Amino acid sequence: MEWYILISAAFFLLLALFATGLPIFLSFLALNILGIYLLRGSFDGVMLIVNSMFNTGTNMSLAAIPLFILLGEILFRSNAVHILFNAVDGLIGNIRARLYAVSIVLSAVFGALSGSAMAVAAMMGASLLPEMRKRGYDRNLSIGTILAGSSLAPIIPPSVMAVVLGILSGVSISGLLVAGILPGLLLATAFFLYVVIRGWLNPSLAPVSQQAKLPWRERAMLFLRAVPFLLIIITILGMILAGVATPTEAAAMGCIVAVIICSIFAKLDLKALYEAVRSTAWITGMIMVIMVSSVSFSQVLNMSGVTFELVAWVTDLDISLVLMFIALMALPFVLCMFIDQIALMILLVPLYKPIVTALGFDPMWFWAIFLINMSVGGITPPFGYTLFALQGVARDVPIQAVYRSVLAFIAIFAFVIVLLALFPQIILFLPSLI
């Protein structure tokens, strides 16, 4: 059977299994067992899948995932969120479109602290969105700023998706984490300028704030209260950039610092800590069971010869590297509309990895842009998971309105991705310092 028929059948069967509502890990597992049976004529090769699952599950690099998740849980279950909100709100002041700006800045900060776009969207949708609507801010633009800001979470470290991508692609996890800093800040700045300019051009979208202007002394006090929580980010990134710790070690130290700081400056008690650990175990279990059951999918493809044939076919195409890059980025952008981001990464990265090497793309540059592309998928209609997270806490907002609210921000994402493709040093500068 031709390789393109095999890979097409595998993809369609996998999508069909997803559509039935079968859990992602069971879909991958069923496909792997079926593939082994078709290739070998028996189920004797199932032990290959078992060994692959064991080797993947015991990879020590994966330890960074529960640690980063625990870090975010600790912060969300204390009142650190309230302290940071007051600090950002006070520092931005009474500019027009103030709450739009607060939404973007605060989402970027929370994303850097937690690494979870869905958690940030749900938290901001429950706390900030009602306040924005009460003060007369445009509903769609309010939703759009929250979703855009929360989509920065997988890009700005610490990021669970960056750790997973680093393991799958074979690039330095430390490098991939810090590679997202400047693109994340660039995206946050672009979002900020967009909402400020729209508020200036159309004043009805952003009413002038009626809040009394805080004196500089009070603003300074609000900022000082937030400084201890920013030390968590500095600790993690500082240790990675200085080369004194791996991402796993830096994440562990970040959790220790978070527990100390939240116990002193916030309201972290034993009950909140227990709930944080419990939630971390549940989320980590879901991610790990998906990974161990799906990584072996690439081995089945290798056994079938599909990977080799695909690489040979791509490298023989008579098209420019620019068009090839666009095609490689367009596929995950479209598929992210229908498939979970981590599941899609696990599906595509084993296929992309040899192609990226054969085409001569810089791996750090390519996979960093790939990560940003995957982050857009969380807010891309119709099935972006971050969209559903926000709609879940804002049940009176129709899903169609949520879809419309993100279109402009998706265009900004696309524009920034073009900039990063044209100016790779934006991505490569910080990793070069490690």
Tell me whether residue 269 is exposed, middle or buried, using C-beta atoms within 10 angstroms of its C-beta: 0 to 12, 13 to 18, 19 or more.
exposed
Q: Is the dihedral of CA 276, 280, 282, 283 positive or negative?
A: positive
State whether residue 206 is helix, strand or coil: coil
Q: Give residue 76's pLDDT.
A: 76
State whether residue 307 is helix, strand or coil: helix
Residue 59 contacts residue 167 (beta carbons within 8 Å)? yes
Q: Which residues contact 146 (CB under 8 A, 6 or more apart)?
A: 103, 107, 121, 124, 125, 128, 129, 390
- State the Cα–Cα distance between residues 179 and 426, nearest whole angstrom: 8
Q: Give residue 298's pLDDT.
A: 66
Query: Could you tell me the end-to-end alpha-carbon distance of the chain, in angstroms, rounded to an integer?
Result: 47
Q: Give residue 411's pLDDT.
A: 94
State whether residue 151 is helix, strand or coil: coil
Question: What is the mean pLDDT, run by run of 10 residues, along the chain of 434 residues?
Answer: 73 77 76 79 71 74 78 78 74 72 79 70 77 82 90 83 86 90 92 88 73 69 82 82 81 88 87 88 77 69 70 74 90 75 79 88 95 88 75 78 91 95 94 84
The DSSP code for 63 is G
Tokens for 409, please give them.
């921000």
Q: Give residue 45's pLDDT.
A: 67
Q: Give residue 349's pLDDT.
A: 87
DSSP symbols for 168-205 = HH-S-HHHHHHHTHHHHHHHHHHHHHHHHHHHHH-GGG
Tokens for 80, please give them.
């650190």
- State the Cα–Cα distance between residues 427 and 430, nearest whole angstrom: 7
Q: Give residue 373's pLDDT.
A: 92
Phi-psi region of 398 (alpha: psi -120 to 50; beta: other; left: phi over 0): beta
pTM for the structure as a whole:
0.76
Radius of gyration of the chain (CA): 22
Q: Give residue 208's pLDDT.
A: 63
- State the Cα–Cα distance between residues 132 and 326, nearest whole angstrom: 38
The candidate with the shortest Cα–Cα distance to 135, out of 192, 96, 171, is 96
The candidate with the shortest Cα–Cα distance to 63, out of 293, 254, 274, is 254
Tokens for 398, please give them.
């129709």
Sequence letter at residue 357: T
Give the CA distances from residue 400 to residues 138, 212, 261, in Å, rounded to whole numbers and listed in that order: 15, 36, 41
The distance between the two most distant Cα atoms of the chain, rounded to a whole number of Å, is 76
Q: Which residues contact 70 (CB under 8 A, 6 or more apart)?
A: 255, 276, 277, 280
Domain boundaries, the chain: 61-433
Tokens for 115, please give them.
């690494």
- State the Cα–Cα distance between residues 198 and 96, nearest whole angstrom: 10
- State the Cα–Cα distance between residues 153 and 188, nearest whole angstrom: 11
- State the Cα–Cα distance between residues 14 and 27, nearest whole angstrom: 6
Q: Give residue 42's pLDDT.
A: 67
Q: Tokens 């419990």 identify what position?
A: 278
Q: Which residues contact 11 (CB under 8 A, 6 or more apart)?
A: none
